[in-house]
Amino acid sequence: MRVLFAPGYRTGNPYQTLLAKALHRYGIEVSFLTDYYGGLPLWRGVRAEMPDIVHVHWPEDYYPRRGDRWDWLRVARYPIDCRITAHFRPMVLTAHNFFPHNREDERGVFHNARCTAQSCYAVFAHSSIACQTLRERFRISEGRIHIIPHGDLAAPLGKPLPQQEARVQLQLPLDKKICLVFGMISPYKGSDELVRYWAQNRLPYRLVVIGAILSKSFARTLLDLGQDCATVDLRLLNECLGDEALRLWLSASDCAIFNYREIFTSGAATLARSFGMPLLIPRRLTVTDLDEPHPHVFRFEALNTDFRAQLERALATPCDYELAGEWRRKTSWDLVAEITAMVYRDVAREAS
């Protein structure tokens, strides 16, 4: 069976690469759609590839916001592109996000997200709450939604290094607590609120915010907020962290913080879980499945209420890679691929 991942998005996110490799063991040949520009980009790409199934991952790539006068047209034409493609080849969707990041209030975006889900034979969700949300908001039947684990993003990184060894390589102090915010740096992740809180309260622990920056204006905001605080360490990069650098930072840190305003699925949070790191995440983000309760997951109501207390608890909890072994087993790519391949075959039979 030939499956086309659309779009082929592998820079800075190994999800598709790891899933494709695991699917190969189940007789699924995966290709990646990378040439998808011009009018009706999804349909044109699918027509050129002629796969058995189209597996859509981040459909917003087909109606990107570029800040020019054609943004409205890209949003408006997408439902036509989506429906023509679905008529031409059976489609499935992995609902990594409910809305495209930072675009939840944009006109037409909800309609496009719902159109994608309704056009697909099957939709993959990463938690039971995500499944319920998709069913209710997008009006799709429960039988078309399949719950799969997110997949273990720690798999290609290997085990953590000893913390002191990692800190020596990164030239970090050996005797300070380090709190890590990692991944793509974007407004929806709330890192500006966290930096402001850190600076105002003069927390004694080092807050490291590291990752690729998408917006120069947001980068300036973070730099302005943290410029007078010695314990805020902003490492705003032009490209994503490589695997070895990411492994070093995860190994060197005492906890990870995810102050997202909204999120459907967090690959970074699942990676921290896989690495055995204590992590802090807002209580309201119930859609994100972290296999709770667990001694490494600390939920907080808000930065100005119980965050500091939960942070102290997290920093008093040692990192423990072995303790995360059961989580890595539950999120193994072999398990994800087994469920995915089964759904593909069901869809192929239904569409034939």
Task: Based on the fold, state whether residues 176 and 318 are members of the same structural domain.
Answer: yes
Kind of pairing, strands 29-32 and 2-6?
parallel
Task: Based on the fold, state whether residues 241 and 108 are members of the same structural domain.
Answer: no
Task: Based on the fold, state whether residues 299 and 199 are members of the same structural domain.
Answer: yes
- Report yes or no: 303 and 193 within 8 Å, Cβ to Cβ: yes
Check whether 36 has a pLDDT greater than 80.
no
Check whether 54 has a pLDDT greater than 90.
yes
**Structural domain includes residue 77:** yes
What's the CA gap between 195 and 166, in Å, rounded?
24
What's the CA gap between 143 and 122, in Å, rounded?
8
**Structural domain includes residue 35:** yes
What's the CA gap between 204 and 178, in Å, rounded?
10
Average pLDDT (125-153) is 95
Q: What percent of the chain has pLDDT over 90?
A: 92
Task: Based on the fold, state whether residues 280 and 308 are members of the same structural domain.
Answer: yes
**Close Cβ partners of 67 (under 8 Å, ≥ 6 residues apart):** none
What's the CA gap between 58 and 60, in Å, rounded?
6
Task: Based on the fold, state whether residues 187 and 312 are members of the same structural domain.
Answer: yes
Task: Based on the fold, state whether residues 171 and 241 are members of the same structural domain.
Answer: yes
**Structural domain includes residue 154:** no
Q: Using one digit for the tens of pLDDT, what is the confidence trace for 288-340?
A: 999 999 999 999 999 999 999 999 999 999 999 999 999 999 999 999 999 99
Q: How high does pLDDT run on average in the chain?
A: 96
Predicted TM-score (pTM) of this structure: 0.94
- Report yes or no: 78 and 112 within 8 Å, Cβ to Cβ: yes
Q: What is the pLDDT of residue 102?
A: 86
Task: Based on the fold, state whether residues 185 and 275 are members of the same structural domain.
Answer: yes
Q: What is the pLDDT of residue 104?
A: 87
**Structural domain includes residue 156:** no
Looking at per-residue confidence, does 102 or 154 come out higher? 154
Task: Based on the fold, state whether residues 125 and 177 are members of the same structural domain.
Answer: no
Q: Which of 100, 74, 302 is nearest to 194 (CA)?
A: 302
Q: What is the pLDDT of residue 37?
A: 67
Domain CATH number, residue 280: 3.40.50.2000
Q: What is the pLDDT of residue 137?
A: 95
**Structural domain includes residue 158:** no
Average pLDDT (66-76) is 92
Domain count, the chain: 2
Task: Based on the fold, state whether residues 283 and 137 are members of the same structural domain.
Answer: no
Q: Which amino acid is at 254?
A: D
Average pLDDT (151-160) is 96
**Structural domain includes residue 157:** no
Task: Based on the fold, state whether residues 176 and 108 are members of the same structural domain.
Answer: no
| Domain of residue 294, residue span | 163-330
Give the number of other CB atoms < 10 A from CB of residue 239: 10
Q: Using one digit for the tens of pLDDT, what is the confidence trace for 192-205?
A: 999 999 999 999 99
**Structural domain includes residue 197:** yes
Task: Based on the fold, state whether residues 214 and 325 are members of the same structural domain.
Answer: yes
**Structural domain includes residue 155:** no
Task: Based on the fold, state whether residues 34 and 77 are members of the same structural domain.
Answer: yes
**Close Cβ partners of 9 (under 8 Å, ≥ 6 residues apart):** 16, 57, 58, 61
138-161 as b/e: b if 16+ CB within 10 A:
bebeeebbbebbbbbbbbebeebb
Q: What is the pLDDT of residue 303?
A: 98
Q: What is the pLDDT of residue 112?
A: 97
